[in-house]
Chains A and B, each alone.
Chain A
Amino acid sequence: RKEVEQDPGPFNVPEGATVAFNCTYSNSASQSFFWYRQDCRKEPKLLMSVYSSGNEDGRFTAQLNRASQYISLLIRDSKLSDSATYLCVAGTSYGKLTFGQGTILTVHP
């Protein structure tokens, strides 16, 4: 079993749609959580950190459920520019990160 698992998709949605990605992690010692975005043939970049209380950044909302070891990302009002691969990440207290395999999102007109 992979330490961080995501539905690889692909998700194909129209502009304006709401889309949700889910992720589970198996290492109960994980302390920090993130969503990274990776455009085709580019490096991953941090989209947002994920906090226990849930957090929002514009159209993006991230949630963490420690009891279920589950992380989610909600994107509202999807834009064409949201098309990318979204990587779920869990980190230990000493800074080592484990990446999921990524979920591919395509937003079409």
Chain B
Amino acid sequence: DADVTQTPRNRITKTGKRIMLECSQTKGHDRMYWYRQDPGLGLRLIYYSFDVKDINKGEISDGYSVSRQAQAKFSLSLESAIPNQTALYFCATSDSPGTGEGNEQFFGPGTRLTVL
């Protein structure tokens, strides 16, 4: 079984719709992240959470919100989707620096979102 899972894997939606992308992990990591990937731009950080009560904006948080429901779950919401949010979205997890796997981030398989 995969350590980091994302649902859905693919989604096509229309402008103005509310969308939620979900991420679950079985690695026992405290830290979770949401990125989007666009051609030529690499991975850009949307939001991150270092524990259940901690939420931080990343580089491109406008138009997105997140919820950390439990250590293992981190959801990303698009309140009113727009076409330029069409991208590949990745969730990732990591242990705390200085412990175990340190800064290495482990990624889910990605969600391909298309906003028409």
Residue A93 contacts which of B94, B97, B104 (CB distance < 8 angstroms)? B97
Q: Are A8 and B48 in contact (CB under 8 A)?
A: no
Q: Are B103 and A87 in contact (CB under 8 A)?
A: no
Minimum CB–CB distance from A4 to chain B (whole Å) comes to 8
B107 within 8 A of A: yes
Q: Are B102 and A97 in contact (CB under 8 A)?
A: no
Number of A positions contacting B (CB below 8 A)? 23
Number of B positions contacting A (CB below 8 A)? 22
Closest A residue to B102 by beta carbon equals A32
A34 within 8 A of B: yes
A binding-site residues for B, Cβ under 8 Å: 4, 8, 32, 34, 41-46, 49, 87, 91, 93-102
20 A-B contact pairs sorted by A residue (CB < 8 Å) = A32-B102, A43-B90, A43-B107, A43-B108, A44-B43, A44-B90, A44-B107, A46-B105, A49-B104, A91-B103, A95-B31, A95-B103, A96-B45, A96-B48, A99-B35, A99-B43, A99-B44, A100-B42, A101-B41, A102-B42
